[in-house]
Amino acid sequence: MRNKSIYTIIAALFVIGFYLYDHFAVGEYLVVNDLDSTEIDENFDFLPTSTTGQLVKHPFYSLSYNETYEQAEWVAYNLTSKQITSTKFKRPYFQKDKKVKTKSAHYKNYKNSGYDKGHLCPAGDRKFSKEAHDATFLMSNVSPQEHQFNAGIWNRLEQKTRFWTTKYKGIYVITGGILKPNLPTIGTEKVAVPDAFYKIILDYTQPEIKAIAFLIPHLESNKALYSFVTSIDTIENLTNIDFFSALPDDIEDKLESSSSYKQWSFR
């Protein structure tokens, strides 16, 4: 009887141990086994809230269009390592997005404006097919960007995002400009020029889930990328967007309050 009691206690300890391992934090980041998968799901989807109610879904990314500022308040998409390729496609013309009910801004707004048509979902993230690549040239997927910013610090962040994709196998990306009243505008449709841009990256692969957020002033910069790391909460306060409401509240709070970059390699 005594041996049976000992075995019962040991078995109970194992059960408790596995429960704690599956449900509590490891170090600074949470292990979330409900989200982990050895197979990356390319349809993995944690769309942020839309403050405008104008949600547009394309086959390779989704967005929330803000008619007041004539651009997306966010663009979100899943990115996996097998989608990262060096394939080169002919650059298409920019086109209006017919799925935007209020009509997306016309590309003519950018003519002689001094601003680039800055991709929110980069064409470089969508080289795995011509259809996916060309879909990034819809006007709902661009925002006015200074050339030195677009080709400089912003481009560096886009390249680093692809590096992290190959490292972590699969990530979820959310990008947009900080939209607010009294921004300068371009064109007859008054397309707003954000004074800062953000990018939020969620690594949802096992053995842990983690996130990192960047808030970069719309200026040329040679600073290291990690100097622009911020918390998701900070970006939520600036945009009134709830980014990961689909996550359990305790996990969402943990991810969104952190501004740590210790788990991310910047080299």
Q: What is the pLDDT of residues 205-246, one digit of tens each?
A: 767 789 999 999 999 999 999 999 999 999 999 999 999 887
Confidence (pLDDT) at 255 = 87
Question: How far is Cα 160 from Cα 65, in angstroms, rounded to an integer?
Answer: 26
Average pLDDT (21-32) is 29
Q: Is residue 262 part of a domain?
A: no
CA atoms within 13 Å, Cβ hemisphere of 135: 20
Question: How far is Cα 66 from Cα 73, in angstroms, rounded to an integer?
Answer: 6
Q: Is residue 75 part of a domain?
A: yes
Q: Is residue 265 part of a domain?
A: no
CA atoms within 13 Å, Cβ hemisphere of 266: 14
Residues 94 and 51 in one domain: yes
Residues 6 and 113 in one domain: no
Percent of the chain scoring above 70 in pLDDT: 82
Residues 3 and 100 in one domain: no
Residues 69 and 197 in one domain: yes
List phi, psi (to 5°) of 232: -65, -35
Average pLDDT for the chain: 85
Tens of pLDDT, residues 136-170: 999 999 999 999 999 999 999 999 999 999 988 88
Q: Of 241, 259, 263, 249, nearest to 66 (Cα)?
A: 241
Which one is predicted more confidently, 12 or 30? 12
Expressed as residue numbers, the domain containing 240 is 32-257
* Number of domains within the chain: 2
Q: Is residue 264 part of a domain?
A: no
Residues 1 and 54 in one domain: no
Residue 107 scores a pLDDT above 50: yes
Q: Of 28, 45, 37, 43, nearest to 207 (Cα)?
A: 37
**Tokens 């290291």, residue located:** 224
